[in-house]
């Protein structure tokens, strides 16, 4: 019993729900109260990957359909007659759900019971929405007022005028002055992790991609100056990892850990196409400068060139023998740079030389460390690496031109401001470094963690060796 | 009498839950978090310790690389796995407690010590535990052995870790436990509970060290009274001491017929002849068994029999070595054994061998081992009973061997080169075939590459520091000296254990080439004593055989008594085995009195004398009946350096072969065979029956057998056919086909 209570407490604390459990008279909401329970407790065996007993409850529609037993899982109005409820409370250990795990806490069973008794109503917008995303339309936790420790910078972006830098925070995005590293504003209401940030060049929009690992992905459009939510562009089953505006800002491409690549119309928010050709997380997505292609990078060890607007896969590049972290087009739209966990920067043609009959000159540069993100600039290709370095590679991908010093931990994120010729990189230790790309001189560095003071945390944050 | 289980057994000791990290700042990744990842199974080979990880999350196998694992948890995949500002929301905790879907299910709950440690580590800011922090120096376990007599059915294991700062702590809660046999189960905290009577080993693992506990659950047997059998030598003392503690009496001593057949097969690989068997039965002197052993050890077939065994191990086969080389290599082995060459010298001559493989046959050792890794693996397996191969790709999961050991030992064998004077390859597609003269030569310089670093591999003997070698030192000499040194704890044990296993049917360490901490010997003190005796007697093979064969243990009957029938590892009774391929065919040949024909060899060469595998490859010429027969009965192809390649299985094909196959049938039907000669000599039916019995079973017929078979033969219309039936029946009997 002690176990059940503590499990429930942890659960209740982690999510702003359970209000229904506390108040026995209130109405139980399926989206808010029931969906999270089912998603957490049942999805492992009855989810997207497995459907034990012929039963799946990925969506509300699934939930209402019989499994192999041919007995309706839910009989609205009567918990006692509902197969799902019976299996939660049965004394037969063989039948009791969840199998090979502790029974559900009494309070959770009670929520389910009352929801069924109240008519088992669906209160969401679409019965086909997966339960995990249904649950997420609940508000996110507030960002910490001050940061006890710096948060790894996994995404950052210069504003179009180069004056500000948006940086991933915890449950928020923080915006800093590119001139002096001063905190300008905090954009909250976000899921805990942010993996990609992009400003529209011509529109007043900041796109934010992230989520909660293992639970949820989100892509939001906000107004940069105020942080006002313009549109919740997508909720996904897994984190959104990559993001790009088309050159004319009319489209937004999203890469996600649910293995999908999606393109949305910026103005309407409508999804224009979805590609599921990757067999593992899609780490990044980028448009070609002419807007005619996309390139994706995936943990499935491939990168793909996709034709727009049709969404046909033009080429699958299998040169990396490990995860591909990032990929981008050359200025002439003809070649693609990609970086992977095999430590290589590879340059390849957008057409398969075997099919196109063109001569190919594949190039591979061993970086000697894991390259994590890249940016193609007029000066060359910028790559940030797990050896605490940021490098500038020649445009032909053959030569390292410069290594930018000052970092002391893995660099996860890059942004380049063409006008000022400045480059910003974000690091695991929460630091943002800004360099002048022309001569490699450092311009500014600061720790992007509101309220964080290193001295007070010296004990808690052992320096990395 | 002192029991081998002298360490007190801890029964039902319930350990208090001792929190490893009482204060958050005390948590160290290396010392505290790594054991949790192992204990929860995260770093197991079936989960994230897998070579390719699981679900994109890859830890080092069983935590062999803490630095890697630290970065994987904290930095990898854009730091998504840990939430420092909201530690309870960290992905690793939500996954491990299955509060979100986790393929591996729930590994622990929110109120478990595992959860507490991970959470305090995250709260403390992910301290890495730097090099100054104490490291694990030694693991101790108690009890080391546990013998529980019914009704006792459980005991608590206590694992204590000692650290480099001199501190030690009870880590029973955080060790990982495994059993090698399902007769016992071990709880999360190390409580071992009986499931069935018998013996097993429980392995406890903590950080990078592991130790076994040998466990015996013994039946109460209230009527047990020790039979107090006479001890012939120290072997019996050790074996009987343990048997007594297990409340098992050994079987009685085997009868003369069984002993004679056993000693003949084990020592020279042949059945005794009619004359010898009769003479031995009639001999009434008390030391006749010892004299027989001595006599057998001086027979030329002794060297042939053991050369066959070593030819298996040293991969003496015609594809890599060619026909001429195979003959020369086998002769060299046979001559070495015949001459009584000490086995350490034998090993050294092989390891340091070089030169023309025709004229320096020992150099054939390297003819099939074409690269440094396979030379190191074979040398470790054959002479040190150690399977190193796993360490090629990862630190050995069950042992202390690391990749440093692997590539360091391989480096000793890196300067071997081959000058191929000719290669008249007959099978165009087989790149492994070498048919012609070769010279094995050793370069004065050159290094192997450690594939992990692309740098020259650093010389290292397995498990020890690098030896100090000058550039002029011969690396093979250095390796050979280290392998065969009396200080090497493995060499003498492995060699004498091979002899033991050959004679007793099971190694004290079994399999004989899988020595490791987690595969402990059944009788450690006996193995120690045998090894010391072997060293003291200059690694003399004949001495070791003589010692073991003269023990009462060797001479125990195979028929179990009321209690010891289930015992498979304490040598309480003789172990029965099927005759080997060569023993079976040579036995049939001896019973029928006719030779068999192998391709490429003159008529009259016995199966046990064949140097290689098959003189003429089956691509080129159809195998003879005899060639096929030995193949069916499990003669190995000699493609790996292990005795396990020789099959002792009983197959349906063998039964068919014996019952109606051409090999045995042709010999039985041949008019010139023993049966024909007996009939032609005008012997009486009872004399004939008598002779056939002695030739096949080393004994005369029993009274009933004699009366009935004599009548059957006397009354038969076609005595020849009747006699063939009788001989056929004898050769298909278990008594003939099994060594008992």
CA B171 to chain centre: 32
Task: Say what the pLDDT of residue B568 is.
Answer: 87
pLDDT-derived band at B121 (thresholds 50, 70, 90) equals very high
Most A-contacting residue of B85, B106, B118 (CB-CB within 10 A), to test interface: B85
Nearest CA in chain A to B130: A465
| Residue B8 pLDDT class (50, 70, 90 cuts) | very low
B89 to chain A, any CB pair closer than 8 A? The answer is: yes
Please check whether residue B665 touches A, CB under 8 A.
Answer: no
Distance from CA of B103 to the nearest CA of A (A): 7
* Sheet bearing A271-275, strands edge to edge: A240-245, A251-256, A261-265, A271-275
User: How many angstroms separate the CA atoms of B339 and B28, rounded?
Assistant: 61
Give B630's contacts (C-beta < 8 A, 6+ positions apart): B581, B582, B585, B607, B610
Instruction: State the average pLDDT over residues A82-104.
Output: 84
pLDDT at B89: 93
Residue of B nearest to A216 (CA): B100
For residue A458, pLDDT over 60 is answered with no
Pick the residue from chain A with its C-alpha nearest to B67. A465
Query: Is A299 in contact with A291 (CB distance < 8 Å)?
Result: no
H or E segment and range at residue A277: none
Instruction: Output DSSP code: residue A281.
Output: -
Whether the pLDDT of residue B4 is over 80: the answer is no
Alpha carbons A457 and B417: distance in angstroms, whole number? 61
- The contacts of residue A307 (CB under 8 Å, 6+ apart) are A292, A293, A313, A314
**Rounded Cα gap, residues B596 and A18, in angstroms:** 86
Query: How far apart, in whole angstroms, are the C-alpha atoms of residue B598 and residue B195?
Result: 52
* Rg of chain A in Å (alpha carbons): 24
Kind plus residue range of the DSSP H or E element containing B244: helix B234-245
Average pLDDT over residues A374-385: 95
Is residue A44 less than 8 Å (CB to CB) from chain B? yes
What pLDDT does residue A123 have? 81
Mean pLDDT across the stretch B363-371?
94
Question: ipTM of this predicted complex?
Answer: 0.80
pLDDT at residue A11 is higher than 70: no
Give the minimum alpha-carbon distance from A430 to chain B in angstroms, rounded to a whole number.
11
A53 CB burial (10 A radius; 0-12, 13-18, 19+): middle
The band of A44, judged by pLDDT with boundaries at 50, 70 and 90, is: low
How far is it, in rounded angstroms, from Cα A390 to Cα A423? 10
Report chain B's mean pLDDT, rounded to a whole number. 91
Question: DSSP readout, B130-186?
Answer: -TTS--EEEEEEE-SEEEEETT--EEE-EEEEEETTS-EEE-TTTSEEEESSTTEEE
Q: Is B88 on the interface with A (CB under 8 A)?
A: yes
Report the residue from B81, B106, B125 with minimal CB separation from A101.
Answer: B106
Assess B67–A contact: CB distance below 8 Å, yes or no: no
Helix axis angle, B491-504 to B541-549, nearest 10°: 50
A59-63, B119-123, B343-347: least confidently modelled range: A59-63
Among B37, B94, B33, CA closest to B61 = B37
Whether B110 and A6 lie within 8 Å, measured CB to CB: yes
Residues β-bridged to residue A376: A381
Q: What is the pLDDT of residues B434-472, one digit of tens each?
A: 989 999 999 988 899 888 877 889 899 988 877 788 888
Which tens digits make up the pLDDT trace of A245-297?
999 999 999 999 999 999 999 999 888 989 999 999 999 999 999 999 999 99
Q: Using pLDDT thresholds of 50, 70 and 90, give the confidence band for residue B7.
A: very low
Q: Which long-range contacts (CB under 8 A, 24 or more apart) does B391-396 make?
A: B393/B51, B394/B51, B394/B61, B394/B64, B395/B61, B395/B64
**8 A C-beta contact, residue A127 and residue A40:** no
Q: Specify whether the CB–CB gap between B429 and B420 falls below 8 A.
A: no
State how far the Cα of B267 lies from the Cα of B297, in Å rounded to an integer: 7
3-state secondary structure B361-403: HHHHHHCCCCCHHHHHHHHHHHHHCCCCHHHHCCCCCCCCCCH
DSSP summary character for residue B550? T
Percent residues over pLDDT 70 in chain A: 88
CA distances from B107 to A214, B50, B81, B112, B206 (A): 16, 17, 16, 10, 18
pLDDT of residue B517: 83
- For residue B10, give the DSSP letter: P
> Quick one: pLDDT band at residue B397, thresholds 50, 70, 90?
low
In tens, the pLDDT along A326-368 reads 999 999 999 999 999 999 999 999 988 777 666 666 688 999 9
Q: Please, which residues 277-296 of chain A have a Cβ atom closer than 8 Å to chain B?
A: 280-281
B550: closest CA among B242, B263, B276, B229? Answer: B263
pLDDT tens digits, B138-177: 999 999 999 999 999 999 999 999 988 888 989 998 899 9
Q: Contact A192/B80, CB-based, under 8 Å? A: no
Query: Quick one: pLDDT at residue A65?
Result: 85
Q: How do residues A198-255 score in pLDDT, each as one tens digit?
A: 999 999 999 999 999 988 899 999 999 999 988 888 888 899 999 999 999 999 999 9
Whether residue B195 is predicted with pLDDT greater than 50 in this model: the reply is yes
Query: Is A301 an 8 Å CB contact of chain B?
Result: no
B453 touches chain A (CB under 8 A): no
- pLDDT for the residue B396: 62
Q: Which of A104-118, A362-376, B707-721 has the lowest mean pLDDT?
A: A104-118
Among residues A409, A389, A380, A305, which one has the least CA distance to residue A343?
Answer: A389
Our CA angle for A248, A250, A251, nearest 5°, is: 110
Give the A window 306-335 contacts with B, CB below 8 Å: 323
Which chain A residues have a beta carbon less than 8 Å from that of B97? 7
pLDDT of residue B619: 80
> Is residue B12 scored above 50 in pLDDT?
no
CA A291 to CA A269: how far, in whole Å?
A: 19
Of A11, A170, A461, the CB nearest to B125: A461
A304 token code pair: 């793909």
Smallest Cβ–Cβ distance between B111 and the set A6, A11, A14 belongs to A6
Among B415, B282, B309, B433, which Cα is nearest to B368's?
B433
- Backbone CA torsion sign across B392, B395, B396, B397: negative
pLDDT average, residue stretch A154-183? 96
Asked if B137 contacts B162 with a C-beta cutoff of 8 angstroms, the reply is: yes
Tell me, what's the pLDDT at B131? 62
Confidence of residue A25 (pLDDT cuts 50, 70, 90): low
State which residue of chain A sits closest to B55, comparing Cα positions.
A280
Residues 6+ apart with CB under 8 A from B636: B312, B613, B645, B646, B647
SS3 A143: coil
Model confidence at B422: pLDDT above 80: yes
To which H or E segment does residue B127 belong? none
Report the alpha-carbon distance of residue B405 to residue B386 in Å, rounded: 12
Inter-chain CB proximity B83 and A170 less than 8 Å? yes
Q: Which of B79, B86, B109 sits opposite A3 (nearest CB)?
A: B109
Task: Place A3 in a pLDDT band, splitting at 50, 70 and 90.
Answer: very low
Judged by a CB distance cut-off of 8 A, whether residue B81 touches chain A is yes
On whether the pTM is more than 0.90, the answer is no
- Residue numbers of B between 3 and 62 with CB closer than 8 Å to A: 25, 56
Q: How far apart are CA A239 and CA A208, in angstroms?
A: 11
Give yes or no for residue B726 having a pLDDT over 70: yes
Sign of CA dihedral A280, A285, A290, A291: positive
Q: Do A214 and B25 count as a contact with CB atoms less than 8 A apart?
A: no
pLDDT of A67 > 90? The answer is no
């Amino acid at each position: 019993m002690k176990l059940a209570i503590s499990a429930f407490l942890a659960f209740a604390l982690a999510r702003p729900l359970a209000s229904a459990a506390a108040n026995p008279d209130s109405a139980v909401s399926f989206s808010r109260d029931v969906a999270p329970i089912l998603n957490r407790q049942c999805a492992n065996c009855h989810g997207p990957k497995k459907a034990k007993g012929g039963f799946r409850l990925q969506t509300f529609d699934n939930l209402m359909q019989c499994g192999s037993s041919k007995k309706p899982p839910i009989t609205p109005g009567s918990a006692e007659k509902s197969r799902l409820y019976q299996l939660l409370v049965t004394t037969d250990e063989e039948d009791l759900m969840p199998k090979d795990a502790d029974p559900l806490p009494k309070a959770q069973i009670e929520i389910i019971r009352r929801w069924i008794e109240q008519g088992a109503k669906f209160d969401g917008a679409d019965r086909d929405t997966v339960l995990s995303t249904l649950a997420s339309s609940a508000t996110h936790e507030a960002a910490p007022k001050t940061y006890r420790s710096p948060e790894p910078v996994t995404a950052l972006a210069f504003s179009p005028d180069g004056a500000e830098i948006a940086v991933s925070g915890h449950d928020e995005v923080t915006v800093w002055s590119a001139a002096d590293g001063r905190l300008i504003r905090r954009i909250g209401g976000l899921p805990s992790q942010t993996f990609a940030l992009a400003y529209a060049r011509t529109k007043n929009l900041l796109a934010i991609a992230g989520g909660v690992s293992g639970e949820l992905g989100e892509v939001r459009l906000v107004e940069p100056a105020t942080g006002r939510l313009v549109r919740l562009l997508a909720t996904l089953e897994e984190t959104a990892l990559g993001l790009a505006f088309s050159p004319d800002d009319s489209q937004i491409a999203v890469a996600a850990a649910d293995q999908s690549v999606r393109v949305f119309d910026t103005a309407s928010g409508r999804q224009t196409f979805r590609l599921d050709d990757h067999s593992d997380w899609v780490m990044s997505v980028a448009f070609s400068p002419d807007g005619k292609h996309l390139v994706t990078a995936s943990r499935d060890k491939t990168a793909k060139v996709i034709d727009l607007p049709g969404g046909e896969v033009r080429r699958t590049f299998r040169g990396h023998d490990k995860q591909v972290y990032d990929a981008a087009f050359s200025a002439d739209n003809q070649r693609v740079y990609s970086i992977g966990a095999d430590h290589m920067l590879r340059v390849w043609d957008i057409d398969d030389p075997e099919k196109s009959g063109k001569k190919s000159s594949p190039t591979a540069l061993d970086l000697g460390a894991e390259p994590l993100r890249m940016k193609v600039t007029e000066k060359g290709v910028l790559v940030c690496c797990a050896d605490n370095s940021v490098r500038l590679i020649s445009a032909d991908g053959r030569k390292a031109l410069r290594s930018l010093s000052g970092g002391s931990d893995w660099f996860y994120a890059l942004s380049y401001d063409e006008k000022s010729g400045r480059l910003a990189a974000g690091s695991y230790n929460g630091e943002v470094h800004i360099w002048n790309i022309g001569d490699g001189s450092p311009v500014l560095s600061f720790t992007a963690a509101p309220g964080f003071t290193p001295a007070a945390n010296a004990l808690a944050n052992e320096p990395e060796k | 009498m002192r029991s081998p289980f002298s360490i007190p057994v801890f029964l039902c000791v319930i350990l208090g839950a001792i929190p490893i990290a009482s204060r958050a700042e005390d948590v160290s990744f290396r010392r505290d978090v790594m054991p949790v990842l192992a204990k929860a199974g995260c770093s197991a080979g079936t989960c994230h310790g897998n070579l390719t990880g699981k679900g994109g999350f890859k830890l080092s196998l069983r935590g062999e690389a803490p630095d890697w694992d630290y970065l994987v948890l904290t930095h990898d995949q854009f730091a998504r796995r840990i939430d420092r500002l909201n530690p309870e929301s960290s992905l690793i905790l939500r996954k491990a407690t299955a509060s979100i879907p986790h393929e591996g299910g729930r590994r622990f709950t929110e109120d478990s010590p595992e959860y507490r440690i991970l959470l305090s580590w995250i709260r403390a800011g992910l301290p890495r535990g730097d090099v100054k922090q104490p490291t694990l120096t030694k693991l101790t376990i108690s009890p080391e052995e546990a013998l529980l007599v019914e009704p006792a059915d459980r005991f608590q294991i206590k694992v204590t870790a000692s650290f480099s700062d001199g501190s030690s702590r009870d880590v029973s809660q955080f060790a990982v436990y495994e059993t090698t046999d399902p007769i016992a189960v071990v709880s999360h905290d190390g409580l071992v509970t009986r499931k069935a009577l018998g013996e097993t080993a429980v392995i406890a693992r903590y950080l990078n060290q592991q130790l076994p506990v040998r466990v015996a659950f013994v039946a109460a047997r209230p009527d047990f009274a020790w039979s107090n059998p006479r001890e012939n030598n120290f072997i019996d003392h050790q074996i009987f001491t343990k048997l007594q503690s297990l409340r098992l009496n050994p079987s009685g001593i085997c009868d003369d017929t069984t002993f004679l057949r056993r000693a003949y097969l084990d020592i020279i690989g042949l059945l005794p002849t009619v004359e010898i068997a009769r003479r031995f039965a009639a001999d009434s002197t008390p030391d006749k068994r010892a004299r027989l052993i001595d006599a057998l050890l001086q027979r030329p077939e002794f060297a042939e029999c053991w050369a066959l065994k070593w030819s298996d191990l040293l991969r003496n086969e015609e594809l890599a070595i060619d026909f001429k080389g195979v003959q020369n290599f086998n002769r060299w082995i046979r001559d070495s054994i015949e001459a009584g060459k000490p086995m350490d010298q034998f090993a050294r001559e092989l390891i340091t061998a070089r030169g023309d493989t025709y004229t320096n046959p020992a150099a054939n050792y390297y003819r099939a081992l074409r690269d440094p890794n396979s030379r190191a693996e074979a040398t470790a397996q054959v002479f040190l009973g150690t399977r190193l191969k796993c360490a090629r790709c990862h630190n050995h999961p069950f042992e202390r061997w690391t990749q440093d050991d692997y590539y360091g030992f391989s480096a000793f064998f890196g300067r071997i080169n081959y000058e191929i004077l000719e290669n008249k390859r007959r099978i165009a597609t087989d790149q492994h075939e070498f048919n012609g003269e070769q010279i094995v030569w050793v370069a004065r310089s050159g290094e192997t590459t450690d594939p992990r670093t692309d740098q020259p591999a650093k010389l290292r003997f397995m498990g020890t520091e690098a030896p100090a070698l000058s550039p002029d030192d011969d690396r093979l000499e250095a390796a050979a000296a280290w392998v065969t040194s009396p200080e090497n704890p493995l060499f003498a044990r492995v060699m004498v254990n091979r002899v033991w296993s050959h004679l007793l049917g099971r190694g004290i360490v079994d399999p004989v080439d899988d020595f490791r901490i987690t595969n402990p010997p059944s009788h450690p003190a006996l193995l120690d004593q045998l090894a010391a005796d072997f060293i003291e007697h200059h690694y003399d093979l004949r001495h070791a055989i003589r010692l073991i064969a003269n023990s009462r243990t060797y001479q125990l009957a195979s028929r179990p008594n009321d209690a010891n029938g289930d015992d498979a590892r304490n040598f309480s009774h003789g172990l029965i085995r099927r005759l080997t391929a060569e023993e079976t065919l040579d036995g049939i040949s001896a019973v029928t009195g006719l030779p068999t024909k192998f391709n490429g060899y003159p008529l009259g060469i016995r199966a046990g004398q064949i140097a290689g595998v098959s003189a003429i490859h089956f691509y080129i010429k159809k195998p003879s009946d005899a060639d096929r027969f030995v193949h069916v009965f499990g003669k190995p192809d000699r493609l790996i350096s292990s005795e396990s390649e020789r099959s002792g299985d009983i197959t349906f094909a063998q039964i068919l072969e014996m019952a109606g196959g051409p090999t045995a049938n042709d010999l039985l039907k041949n008019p010139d065979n023993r049966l024909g000669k007996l009939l032609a000599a005008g012997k009486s039916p009872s004399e004939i029956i008598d002779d056939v019995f002695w030739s096949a079973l080393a004994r005369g017929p029993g009274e009933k057998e004699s009366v009935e078979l004599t009548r059957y033969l006397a009354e038969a219309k076609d005595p020849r056919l009747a006699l063939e039936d009788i001989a056929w029946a004898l050769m298909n009997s278990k008594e003939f086909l099994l060594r008992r």
